[in-house]
C-alpha cells in the first residue's frame, strides 16, 4: 500500500504543483498590473483545482483498496496531505530556480520596508532582514495555499473514509 500511496501522491502532487506554478506565472508576469478581481479569480480557481486534485488523490487511493478492506481516516488523510507536501517541495524548487537562475531581479519588486519608517534603528533592522526576503516570500506563498489544502485534505478524508453501503443488498436483507 505504501508504494501505491507514494505513486498516487506523486502524480497528484505534481499536478497541483504545475497548476500553482502556472498560477504564479500568471499573477506575476502576465497580469502584474491587473485589477484585484482578476487576481482573486486566478487564486480562487487555483484553490478549487488544487482541492479537486486532493479529492482525486484520496479517491484514487481509496479505489486501490479491496472492497472488503477498511479505508481508515489516517490513510485517507495521508492520501490528501502527501500531494500537498509534494506541491510545497516542487514549488520551492521552482521558486529557487526562478530567483537564482531565471529572474534574478524578481525579488527587487517586493519590498519589506514600510516607507513610513524613518528611524535609523528600524532601517538597520530592515537591512538585516532584507536578505531573507525570498525565503519570507516563499514561506508566505506556500503557507497561503498549504493551509487551505491541508484543511481540505482533512475534511475530504473524513468524508471519503466512510464505508459505502450497497443499497440493493440492504433492501433485500430487510424483505
Domain boundaries, the chain: 2-166
Are the CB atoms for 83 and 9 separated by under 8 Å? Answer: yes
pLDDT over 70 percentage in the chain: 77
DSSP 132: G
Q: Which is more confidently placed, 68 or 14? A: 14
pLDDT at 167 over 50: no
Retrieve residue 70's grid coordinates: 477498511
| pLDDT tens string 84-134 | 999 999 999 999 999 888 888 877 665 544 455 556 666 666 666 666 578
Are the CB atoms for 50 and 20 separated by under 8 Å? Answer: yes
Are the CB atoms for 32 and 62 separated by under 8 Å? Answer: no
pLDDT of residue 130: 61
User: What's the average model confidence in pLDDT over 3-12?
Assistant: 91
**Phi/psi of residue 77, nearest 5 degrees:** -65, -45
What residue spans of 64-98 are helical by DSSP H? 73-97
Of 96, 56, 103, whose CA–CA distance to 76 is shortest? Answer: 56
Task: Return all residues near 123 (Cβ < 8 A) that are at least 6 apart.
Answer: 113, 117
pLDDT at 47 over 50: yes
User: What's the average model confidence in pLDDT over 61-77?
Assistant: 83
pLDDT of residue 75: 87
pLDDT of residue 45: 94
Amino acid at each position: 500500500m505504501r508504494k501505491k500511496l507514494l505513486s498516487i501522491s506523486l502524480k497528484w502532487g505534481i499536478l497541483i504543483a504545475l497548476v500553482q506554478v502556472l498560477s504564479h506565472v500568471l499573477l506575476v508576469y502576465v497580469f502584474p498590473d491587473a485589477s484585484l478581481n482578476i487576481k482573486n479569480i486566478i487564486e480562487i480557481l487555483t484553490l478549487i483545482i488544487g482541492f479537486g486534485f486532493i479529492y482525486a488523490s484520496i479517491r484514487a487511493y481509496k479505489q486501490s483498496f479491496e472492497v472488503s478492506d477498511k479505508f481508515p481516516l489516517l490513510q485517507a488523510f495521508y492520501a490528501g496531505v502527501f500531494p500537498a507536501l509534494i506541491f510545497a517541495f516542487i514549488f520551492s524548487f521552482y521558486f529557487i530556480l526562478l530567483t537564482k537562475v531565471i529572474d534574478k531581479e524578481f525579488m527587487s519588486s517586493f519590498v519589506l520596508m514600510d516607507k513610513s519608517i524613518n528611524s535609523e534603528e528600524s532601517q538597520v533592522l530592515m537591512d538585516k532582514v532584507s536578505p531573507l526576503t525570498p525565503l519570507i516570500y516563499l514561506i508566505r506563498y506556500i503557507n497561503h495555499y498549504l493551509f487551505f489544502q491541508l484543511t481540505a485534505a482533512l475534511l475530504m478524508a473524513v468524508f471519503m473514509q466512510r464505508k459505502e453501503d450497497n443499497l440493493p443488498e440492504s433492501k433485500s436483507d430487510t424483505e
